[in-house]
Amino acid sequence: MLVDDIIAGVELGGTKAVAVLARGQTILGKTQIPTTNPKDTLGALRAQLAQWQSGSGFSALGIGSFGPLRVGSEYADYGSILSTPKPGWSGVNVAQELTAGLGRPWMIDTDVNGAALAEAWWGAGQGVKSLCYITIGTGIGGGFLIRGMPIHGALHPEIGHLRLGCQHEDRFLGICPFHGNCVEGLFSGAALKARFGVPAEQVSVDDPRWPPIISGLAELFATIILMASPQKILVGGGVGLGLPFLVERARDSVPGLLGGYLPTITEETIRSVIASPGLGANAGPLGAIALGKLALDEARSKVRKES
């Protein structure tokens, strides 16, 4: 077994964290722990990485983290989580905590950018040049690939904190501590539990409280299509995968919202544009592996240029 073929990854989510060891998309080892406080969570992840490193070994590490995350390597706090409602995590330098003493190439990006990359390489995004991966889970996030690479700007896309027209039709005030009734504050898994008083999966599909949620998600999809023009939008996360009727009803409403303005979006095509991730629940962990592979490729390219 060649170590060069083996990559380690960490997917750090708001509810759970996953450490994974893989060759390509073949998972060789996987450990899942709850995301609690930074010391315990990152300590357990470091211990697992150390165990793998002292065993079969690995040649690079990819980290996909919840955000907001400093993704620009030119900043002193590169790899740090910025202001987040997750208690105790604001300002934590995830990259530094996980890579100190590692001695291997590494890369950190948002969990959704990583998942988008994995879907483009191995999943439902193969063959497309532009892709959006949305996770609807504890929070809501979106990763974008343009010409096969994750996009960054001053930060990274934060679609979960968009405030859309649907907010004026929704009586629920939202739970986001920053914006109240933004997309995440209205439609995330945590927001749905606050609306219903129970986890969303326990609510009947015919419950009369679903329509404004469906309308809001449809408006989110339409906004992304108009803004970024992705060839595909893949919807994952605990809610996205666990409540398929919710995504399907929202998806089917999108052509009506767009009013025939975009010739590529019709009632016939929309089901191929907005779809489920091909990798299912493994999109996030394999996203971390894809980031690690990018780090390894960059390191090798640098060595070739210097030799």
Q: Which of 122, 17, 100, 104 is nearest to 53 (CA)?
A: 104
Q: By 3-state DSSP, what share of the chain in percent is helix, strand and coil, each rounded to 5?
A: 45, 20, 35
- Calculate the average pLDDT of the chain: 92
Note whether residue 288 is domain-resident.
Answer: no
Q: Which two tokens stand for residue 212?
A: 């404004």
The maximal CA–CA distance of the chain, rounded, in angstroms, is 66
Cα gap 110→107, rounded to integer Å: 10
Note whether residue 60 is domain-resident.
Answer: yes
Q: Which of 133, 176, 172, 173 is nearest to 156 (CA)?
A: 133
Least confident of 179-183, 269-273, 286-290: 179-183
CA distances, 40 to each of 30, 91, 125, 235 (Å) = 18, 16, 35, 30
Quote the pLDDT of residue 90. Answer: 95
What CATH number has the domain bearing residue 7? 3.30.420.40
Quote the pLDDT of residue 1. Answer: 39
**135 lies in the same domain as 108:** no
Number of domains in the chain: 2
| Residues 183, 184, 185, 190, CA torsion sign | positive
Asked if pLDDT for residue 170 goes beyond 80, the answer is: no
> What is the percent of the chain with per-residue pLDDT over 70, rounded to a whole number?
97
**139 lies in the same domain as 91:** no
Q: Which structural domain, as residue segments, surrounds residue 255?
A: 126-277
